[in-house]
Amino acid sequence: MTNTTRVTPASGAKAVIPPIILGVLALVSAVEPLSINMYLSGLPQLGRDLDLSQAGAQLTLTFFLAGMAIGQLVMGPLSDARGRRGLFLAGVVLLVLATVASALAPHAWVLFASRFVMGLAGGTAVVLARAVAGDLAKGPELARVFSLLMLLGGLAPVIGPVVGGLIVDGVGWRGVFWVLTVLNLLMAVAVWRFIPETLPAGNRSTGGLRPLLAAMGGLLADRAYVGFTLGFIFSFSTMFAYVSASPFILQDHYGFTPVQFSIIFAVNTTGMFLVALTNARLVRRVGPLPLAKIGNAVLLLAVVYLVTVALLDASRWFLLAGLFVVVASMGVNFANNSALAISRAGKVRGSASAFMGSGQFIMAGLLSPLVGIAAAAGMSQPVAMSVVMLVTAVIATLGVWGGARALRRE
C-alpha cells in the first residue's frame, strides 16, 4: 500500500501534524509503559513460577530496559542517515515477534532474552516516534506536541496496570504478554499504514562513522543539551525506582492485593496525565523552561518528603501521597526537558533523541534491581526506594538548572 499522508517538516515555530499521525505516535509512545506497567503486579507471581528472587524477577525489567537503550542509541543516529520509515517498520514487526516469545518463555533465561529483544524493538519504535515529532515541530510547539503525546499515550499507564492486575489475577502473568501481542500487532499495522517518511533525503546526514561521532561530539559539547538531557534521564530514573520497587513494597510490605496495587498505580499515573494536560495548555504562554524548573523543584521536594516518611516508618497512606506527587510531576518534567533538549539538536534530532532515550533506559535498567538488592542486605524497602529516588532527583534538578544557566550565557 502506498502511503499518501502528507506532512510538513518543521521550518518555524508552528507546524501541521495530521491528527492521525499524532495518534499513531501516541500509540507507539505507549510501548514502554505498557511493556512495563501491565505486568508489574505479576512480578511476584512470575518470580515464584520461574524460581527467581525479587532481584531476579526485576531483571526482566533490566533486560527490557537494556534493549530499549541499545535500540535507541543505534537506531536514532542511523535514522538520521537512512530515514525514519523503513527502520520504524522493522522495529514494530520485531516487537510483535519478541512479545510472542515472552508469552511462551519456558524458563527465566528465555524470558530475559525475549525481553531484551522486546526492548531493542521497542527502543527503535520509541526513538523514531520522537524523531518524527521533532521533524514536524520545534520549540514551544514541540513541547506542546510531546505533552499531547503524553496525554494520548498516557491512557496506557492509567488503564494498563488495572487491566494487567485483572489479567494476572485471572489467568497469570503470561496472559499479559498475549494481550500485549495483540496491541503491538495493531500498532505495527498503524505505523505501516499512516506514518510516512518525514526526513527528506536532502536533510539526512552523510553515512559513515565520522559524521556520527561528530554529531555525538557536538551534542555532548552543548551544555544546554546535556543539562536538559540529564534532567530528562534522571527524572525518569526517579520514577522508575518507584516503578520497579512498588510491586514488592505495596504488596509484600504493605499488604495490598495485585488489583489494589494496580488501582494505586493507575491513580498515580492519572495525576501525571492531568498535569501533562495542564502543561500542554500552559507551555505556549509560559514556555518550557520555567515549567521545567517548577516541575523539577516539585519533584525534589516530594522526594525529600518521601525519605522522611520512610525513615519515620509512617503510615502507608503518607507514603502513597508522596508517590502521587512524584509521579504527577513527570507530566511537566518529561515533556519540557525532552523538548528543550531536542530543540538544540538541529539536523541530528534522531541522535539527540537516541542519547536521551538510551541514557534514560540504561539508568533505569541499573536501578531496577537496586532496591531489591538493598532490601536483601537488610535495608527497609521503603527507605531503599526513597534514598535512590533522592539521589536521582537531585541529579535531575542540577541538570535542569545547569541547562538553564547555559541558555542564559548564550
Reported as a single tens digit per residue, the pLDDT across 52-110 is 877 788 788 889 988 888 887 788 778 877 888 889 999 999 999 999 999 998 889 99
pLDDT at 2: 42
The Cα-based distances of 215 to 80, 209, 258, 350, 370 in angstroms read 10, 10, 46, 10, 33
Give the residue-averaged pLDDT of 375-398: 86
Q: Lowest-pLDDT range, 27-36, 86-95, 304-313?
A: 27-36
Q: DSSP assignment of 287-312, as one string? A: -HHHHHHHHHHHHHHHHHHHHHHHHH
pLDDT at 1: 41
Q: Lowest-pLDDT range, 29-33, 289-293, 309-313?
A: 29-33
pLDDT digits (tens, 9 = 90+) for 103-119: 998 889 999 999 999 99
pLDDT digits (tens, 9 = 90+) for 216-275: 777 788 899 899 999 999 998 898 888 878 877 888 778 888 778 878 888 888 888 888
pLDDT at 4: 43
pLDDT at 100: 95
The answer to whether the CB of 125 falls within 8 A of the CB of 68 is no
pLDDT at 175: 92
Distance CA 387, CA 303 (A): 8
Q: Give 159's pLDDT tier (boundaries 50, 70, 90).
A: confident
Give the residue-averaged pLDDT of 355-363: 78
The Cα-based distances of 7 to 2, 20, 128, 194 in angstroms read 15, 11, 16, 11
pLDDT digits (tens, 9 = 90+) for 190-213: 999 888 888 887 777 665 556 566
| Domains defined for the chain, CATH in brackets | 19-198+208-409 (1.20.1250.20)
First to last CA, the chain: 48
Q: What percent of the chain has pLDDT over 90?
A: 26
| 9-13, 139-143, 191-195: which is most confident | 191-195
Looking up cell 491513580, which residue turns up? 267
pLDDT at 12: 44
List the grid coordinates of 405: 544557566
Nearest to 225 by CA among 82, 399, 47: 399
3-state helix, strand, coil in the chain (%, to 5): 85, 0, 15
Q: What percent of the chain has pLDDT over 70?
A: 87
The answer to whether the pTM exceeds 0.85 is no
Mean pLDDT of the chain: 82
Give the residue-averaged pLDDT of 22-41: 80
